[in-house]
Each structure stands twice: as structure tokens, then as C-alpha cells.
Amino acid sequence: MRGFFDARSVAVVGVSDDPANMARSIVTNLQEFCFDGIIYQVGQRGGHAFGRRIFKSVADLPDQVDLAVILVPARHVPGVLEECGQKGIRRAIVETAGFSEFGPEGKAIEDQVVAAARKHGIRFLGPNGIGVLNLKNGLVVPFPRLKDVFARGRVSILSQSGGVGLSYLNVLASENLGLAKFASLGNKLDVNECDLLEVLVDDPDTDIIVLYLEGISDGRRLMDLARRTAKPILMHKSNTGQLAREIAASHTASLSGDDAVVSAALAQVGVARFGDATTLVNYLKMLPLPRLEGDRLAIVSRSGGHAVIAADACEAAGFRLARFPEAFLREIERHFRASVIKLTNPLDLGDLFDFDVYLRIVEETLRLEDVDGVVFLHTYIAALEGERSRELFRRIEELGFKHGKPVAICVATDFEEMAILRRTLPHPVYTEPDDAIHSLRLVRDFRHHARPAPVLPEGRLDQERVRAVLARCRAEGRDPGLGEALEVLRAAGLAVAPSSGVASAEEAVSAAAALGGPVALKLDVAEASHKTDVGGVRLGCQGADAVREAFGALAAAAGRLGARGPVRVEVQRMAEGGREIILGARRDPSFGPVVLVGLGGVFVEVLRDVVMRVVPFEATEADEMIRALQAFPVLQGLRGQAPRDLAALREGLLCVARLVEAFPEIAELDVNPLMLFAEGQGALAVDARILLARAVAPA
């Protein structure tokens, strides 16, 4: 895969002597960036361009070539790849658009492209991308013209979209952020983001990795790669909604999973998710600064008003303002020309105009043990104080490094001055106090480190018994019924309310007697998948008559539904007094099994308050899921209510996780509700639903 970045000879295929020819710009870019290798031009009409010959076909090339960059009409791409294969070229970048993103004809050509590549063992990037940039060797092959305005640095970018990739390149250049490598993934017909992410993870020239993706090809591999590396990974995953999904499907042929799964998965492996270029820059500029090790900030401001705004932002972001010691304040006071500003944190420099004094104050502030970081707010008119301010900022940042604490600088000035600051200062400069403080929070909360793959803690899972139930259902081409679903849960070690399946009123009466106490009767036929809505549930039946009557009512309901086969009913001992919890699991096409938890009733139905994780996860992570619920205080016990049995809930989550990890044929599983009792009293599943994948090979 490194070959996409390290090629020492490149054939640009699709060049003609027409000045409007797009492949010519690829050659121009290679020249602009002083490619440290040999460039060949190929185009069926031959001729010459840029003082070089245009070979009529790849076959005509005089030498061996490392990489072909192809920009010919889509229908010609399979043929060009065939020629490349015959010539022994094993790496190609296809920049041509018009494949599956355009329609069924394009899809047919794609199949031919893949066939040609497979036949010759060619790995290719694209189609419908703009290729790569490697600033180290000048391998820069996008077809849009680029100027070499880039600082050399240690940030590398993978972008599914060429346009978004270009705009990120623009931003890096404008912000003086150093670039190492770039690749545009396009339709990801062969090489995907994981293939190149692996290159960047191992790349000695890359320290920070940025991804823009519209779809995630292999979520689990992505998670593994992210866990393997200590390099910060920042990801913009778009295509989050229904509208975008329709476009993206046509745009780069992405299949998008559920966005909440993406967020959960990225959080699990410590990938920072961002949604716009501003946030990206905030990360990139803050990450090289000294680490913010706590939440105590000092605000030093030239304007009291900005200090107020910054203090609001501090509080909203969960920071505290460090308390300044008296001795420090007296020391500061000595520097003031007149004592007209009350000394406190935020420190308002209002009537003080000597920048050297500002510096001394910032340094004194950084020295304070109670201060973890500083926000410096500065208002100026560039024409009057521009140069002095820029020098001030440089020296303030040096002080930050000297004392090992970050300083976020926020200025109010004109945009031309901001452009200069951004392009010339290596450190971040913000225009909004909110933004400066939000950035500090981003880097405070973002812990990037290599981490071992989690392992689900072991537990009782009777695989034989689960397999038997699922095999029977699969054989009969149906999903498990209620009784079967409850049996699977029991086999998975979950506590389930005692119940038994019956087929007649008299069986129901006996079952109820055996269970003891009041019982619930629940219709268990395929046609009643939403039992409650069709009158398929009777609660609190006590005594033979009540049970018999309830069975009759359920049988009648089954009749109304046109249920085929015998009427089956689950008789279950009532489990009352618990808080209703929903446990769920499903299989994401990209990330595999995912488990979720939420509180029943309004919390899920109105507030969509659920927390999700990709399986596997550790027991501590299950606890984190529970605590992350908005409704968590309800489980801790509101208004003197007893706290709920959180250990039982954790165990419930782990049981479900073990089950869906071991049985990929389970496409969806809901335990709804799990009744969660007071601390020490456990939990009981009282209803469940399992859907099987339509066509999954046996595990």
C-alpha cells in the first residue's frame, strides 16, 4: 500500500495535447511539486505536451512504471487496467468519475474494472477520486490544479470526497498547518480507508491522521487500527441523515450505517469525531500545545466584556476559574499604572497598555500551581498595534511551552489581520472566546493512546441450547417466538421471569398454578409481533377462572389476526415493582454487533435516551453505558426511592453482548422490558423479541 505514496515513476494516462484536457493538470501538479521521479504521459492520440512525448498506450512505455494515474472516460478504464497489468504495473489510481455513483451502466463498468485488476493483481485507488499528495517526494496527482502553498509537516489526510479533501488542504495551507500525505478514496472499489489508514499508522512521517468519510467500509478493522496506534485520529463522518444518504449513494456509492453506531464506535476507540473545518483546525492547532492537565483556567483579558463572555463559556464547558492567591494579585497590582480594575480571575487589563507588562502577567499566571491553562483575550486594531500584537502572541506561546501549560489566544481584530495571524503563527488564534474555550475542552477530553482490544468478561452462555432454538427457527424459515426468545435469553444467563408455553386453557391453568401468584398471559404467535396493540397481553390474572378467561380472549385475538397453526400462549409469573429497562442489540453492517440500553417509557419513546456500544466491551464499559444515560439519576433513586440494582443491569448488558457476539445470525434482539429491581434484588426479563438475519451462514 505504501506504493501509492512512494512511487518513483508515474504514468499519467489520459493526456492529450488539447489545452482543456484534464489529465494535463496531473502532470502540471507533479511539476509544481517537483516530483522526485520520472513522469510518463499516455494518451491514445499521442503527440506531445510539456516538452514530453505522449505515448499512445501503456504498452508503449519504454520502462517499468510503479504507478499509473488514470483519467480517461469510464468505459476505457477496464482496457487501460488490462494494459497496465500486462505491462506489470501493480498500482493504479483511477480518477475518472461516472461509475456506480452515476447509475447501472457505471456499475457494469465497475465490475469490469475490478475483474481486470484482480486478474493482474493490481491494487487501485478510486475511481472518482483525486489521488494522492506526498509532499516528501512531490508525488501530487490530483487533476484539479494545485499551488505548492503547503507547509511540510506531520498531518496526513484521507478523504473520501475529493472536494472536501481539497477544502481541507486549503484550510491546512491557510492555517500554516504542516501536511505530510493526502489521499482521496473515491468510490473505494478496491483500496479502502483501512488499507491507507494502516499505511499512515505505520508511517514515520505522520503524527496526526485526519479522515473524511461518507461511509465506513469495515468498521471493525477501523476500530482495531485505531486501538493499535497512539497517533491522534480525527474523523469527519458525514452522511448522517436520510437526505444525505440518498445523495452519497449516488456520489461515492457508500453504504451508510446508523450514525449513532458510528459515534459510539469512534468514542470507544478514542477517535475524535468532528463535523466542520473549524473544529478540525482547533484540534490540529491545540494538539501540539502542552497538554491541559486539569480544569482550572485563568482568563487574562484586555476587555472586561470579553472576560465575561469567556467566563460564561468556561462554565458552560465545565471548567473552573482558578482562584488567584493574594500575593499574586498584589504583585500584579504593582504593574498597573492606575488601580481602576478590580483584580480577580478573569484578570481585566483594562487600563494597562504596556505589552511587556501583559507578558509578565501571563507568565506569573502560568507559574501558579492552581492554573492548568490560560485564555488570553486581546482586542486591537491591526493598523495601530498589529506588529506588536503578533510579537506578543509569539512570546506568550513560548511562555506556555516553557511552563508546560496551554495558552489559548483569542483576538478581536479585522479579518485581514486574522488571515495573517493564521498563516504565520504556529499556534492557534481564535476570534470567539467560546471557540477558544471549546477547543481547550476538545483537547482536554480527547485522550488518544493505544489501547488493548477489549474482551467481554466470561459468563454463562449455553451455546448448545441457543443453537438448538435458532436452528429450529431457521429450518422453519421463521423468527423465534416469545417463548423461544425467552429460552434463548435464559440460555444466555439472563434472569427471565418464570414462564411456560401452553396451547390450551387447561394447560394455562396448570401452568399458572405451578408458577404461583398472579400471572401474565401473552400471545405467542408470529402474527402478533406487537402483542399489546392487538390485545395479545393479559396482566395480573389470578385464579383458574381468570386464567381460563384470559386464554380465551387471547385465542380470540389470534383468530382475529388470522393466525395459522395452534394458538400458543406464554404464561408468565408477574414481575412487578421494577423499573422498566430496554436492552437491545443489533448487527450493524459495518461495525457488527451493537448493544444498547435505555429506560422504558418516555425516556426511550419521547427522549430517545439510549446509549450504545459496539461488542465486545469490558464490564467497566457496561457501567459507563449505564451512567451515560440522561435518565441515570432515576436509577440512582430520586426523591428517596431505593437505588436500582446496577450490577444486575450491567450483567444483563453483558449477557446480551455475549449472545450476539456468539450468534451472528441474530440480526436484532430486544429485551423490553427488563424489570430492574432495587439494589441487591436483581432484574427479570419479561418480554423479548429476536429477529434472525435473512441469509447468514451458520456460526
Query: Per CB under 8 A, which of residues 277..306 are in contact with its own copies?
Result: 277-278, 301-306
Residue 108 within binding range of its own copies, rule CB under 8 A: no
Cell of residue 400, nine digits: 506556555
User: How far apart are CB 476 and its own copies at their closest, in Å?
Assistant: 31
- The span of 60-68, 77-85, 408-416, 456-464 binding its own copies (CB under 8 A) equals 408-416
Residue 261 within binding range of its own copies, rule CB under 8 A: no
Cell of residue 241, nine digits: 441523515
Please state whether beta strands 373-379 and 407-412 pair in parallel, antiparallel, or not at all (unpaired).
Answer: parallel
Query: Per CB under 8 A, which of residues 386..405 are in contact with its own copies?
Result: none
Q: How far is CA 265 from CA 218, 258, 271, 425, in A?
A: 12, 11, 9, 35
Query: Per CB under 8 A, which of residues 427..446 are in contact with its own copies?
Result: 431-432, 434-435
278 or 681, CB closer to its own copies?
278
Single out the residue of 163, 325, 565, 589 in contact with its own copies (rule: CB under 8 A): 163
428 or 480, CB closer to its own copies?
428
Yes or no: say if 110 and 99 are a contact pair by the CB < 8 Å rule: yes
Single out the residue of 41, 192, 239, 268 in contact with its own copies (rule: CB under 8 A): 239
CA 183, chain centre distance (Å): 19
Q: Which residues have a Cβ under 8 Å from the Cβ of 162 and sit 6 or more positions away?
A: 128, 129, 130, 142, 144, 184, 186
Distance CA 512, CA 505 (A): 10
The contact pattern for its own copies, residues 603-632, with x = CB under 8 A and - = no contact, is x-xxx----------------------xx-
Yes or no: say if 284 and 428 are a contact pair by the CB < 8 Å rule: no
Q: Which of 425, 424, 302 is nearest to 375 (CA)?
A: 302
User: How far apart are CB 431 and its own copies at their closest, in Å?
Assistant: 7
Distance CA 509, CA 500 (A): 11
Residue 98 within binding range of its own copies, rule CB under 8 A: yes
Distance CA 604, CA 529 (A): 19
**Given 3-state DSSP classes, what are the helix, strand and coil percentages for the chain, each rounded to the nearest 5?**
40, 20, 40
- The span of 145-153, 496-504, 538-546, 682-690 binding its own copies (CB under 8 A) equals 145-153
User: How far apart are CB 599 and its own copies at their closest, in Å?
Assistant: 9
414 or 545, CB closer to its own copies?
414
Terminal CA-to-CA distance of the chain, rounded, Å? 32
User: How far apart are CB 463 and its own copies at their closest, in Å?
Assistant: 36
Distance CA 580, CA 142 (A): 56
User: How far apart are CB 368 and its own copies at their closest, in Å?
Assistant: 17
Residue 529 within binding range of its own copies, rule CB under 8 A: no
- The span of 3-11, 144-152, 189-197, 323-331 binding its own copies (CB under 8 A) equals 144-152
Positive or negative: CA dihedral 418, 420, 423, 427: negative
Query: Per CB under 8 A, which of residues 303..362 are in contact with its own copies?
Result: 303-309, 311-312, 314-316, 320-321, 338-342, 344, 346, 348, 350-351
Residue 211 within binding range of its own copies, rule CB under 8 A: no
Distance CA 315, CA 263 (A): 25
User: How far apart are CB 366 and its own copies at their closest, in Å?
Assistant: 20
Query: Per CB under 8 A, which of residues 22..81 are in contact with its own copies?
Result: 73-74
User: How far apart are CB 391 and its own copies at their closest, in Å?
Assistant: 19
Residue 145 within binding range of its own copies, rule CB under 8 A: yes
| DSSP annotation of 610 | E
Single out the residue of 86, 424, 532, 620 in contact with its own copies (rule: CB under 8 A): 532
Task: Identify any residues that bridge with 41 across adjacent strands, giving them in sequence order.
Answer: 12, 54
User: How far apart are CB 505 and its own copies at their closest, in Å?
Assistant: 27
Query: Per CB under 8 A, which of residues 483..512 are in contact with its own copies?
Result: none
115 or 383, CB closer to its own copies?
383
Phi, psi of 234 (to 5 degrees): -120, 130
Q: How far is CA 515 from CA 493, 499, 511, in A?
A: 20, 7, 6
The contact pattern for its own copies, residues 168-197, with x = CB under 8 A and - = no contact, is --xx-xxx----------------------
Distance CA 175, CA 53 (A): 39
Residue 160 within binding range of its own copies, rule CB under 8 A: yes
446 or 632, CB closer to its own copies?
632
Phi, psi of 491 (to 5 degrees): -65, -25
User: How far apart are CB 62 and its own copies at their closest, in Å?
Assistant: 32
144 or 288, CB closer to its own copies?
144
Q: Which of 508, 443, 111 is nearest to 272 (CA)?
A: 443
Single out the residue of 19, 62, 204, 242 in contact with its own copies (rule: CB under 8 A): 242
Q: Which of 542, 653, 558 is nearest to 597 (CA)?
A: 653
User: How far apart are CB 639 and its own copies at their closest, in Å?
Assistant: 7
Q: Which residues have a Cβ under 8 Å from the Cβ of 475 and sit 6 or more positions away?
A: none
Residue 255 within binding range of its own copies, rule CB under 8 A: no
Query: Per CB under 8 A, which of residues 646..675 are in contact with its own copies?
Result: none
Q: Which of 126, 74, 89, 129 is nearest to 3 (CA)?
A: 89
- The span of 82-90, 111-119, 595-603, 651-659 binding its own copies (CB under 8 A) equals 595-603
Residue 102 within binding range of its own copies, rule CB under 8 A: yes
| DSSP annotation of 154 | E
User: How far apart are CB 312 and its own copies at their closest, in Å?
Assistant: 5
Yes or no: say if 240 and 259 are a contact pair by the CB < 8 Å rule: yes
164 or 482, CB closer to its own copies?
164
CA atoms within 13 A on the CB side of 445: 13
Single out the residue of 59, 115, 230, 381 in contact with its own copies (rule: CB under 8 A): 381
Q: Which of 203, 258, 255, 207 is nearest to 234 (CA)?
A: 207
Residue 151 within binding range of its own copies, rule CB under 8 A: no
38 or 353, CB closer to its own copies?
353
480 or 578, CB closer to its own copies?
578
User: Which DSSP string do the residues of 140-198 spell out, in sequence order?
Assistant: E--SS-----PPEEEEEEEESSHHHHHHHHHHHHHTTPPEEEEEE-TT-SSS-HHHHHH
Single out the residue of 10, 15, 80, 164 in contact with its own copies (rule: CB under 8 A): 164
* The total number of residues written for the chain in this structure: 699
Residue carrying C-alpha cell 504596556: 354
Single out the residue of 3, 88, 241, 404 in contact with its own copies (rule: CB under 8 A): 241
Residue 214 within binding range of its own copies, rule CB under 8 A: yes
User: How far apart are CB 615 and its own copies at their closest, in Å?
Assistant: 27
b/e map of 226-250 (b: 16 or more CB within 10 Å)? bbbbebbbbbbbbbbeeebbeebbe
- The span of 32-40, 157-165, 397-405, 471-479 binding its own copies (CB under 8 A) equals 157-165
| DSSP annotation of 19 | T
93 or 654, CB closer to its own copies?
93
| DSSP annotation of 299 | E
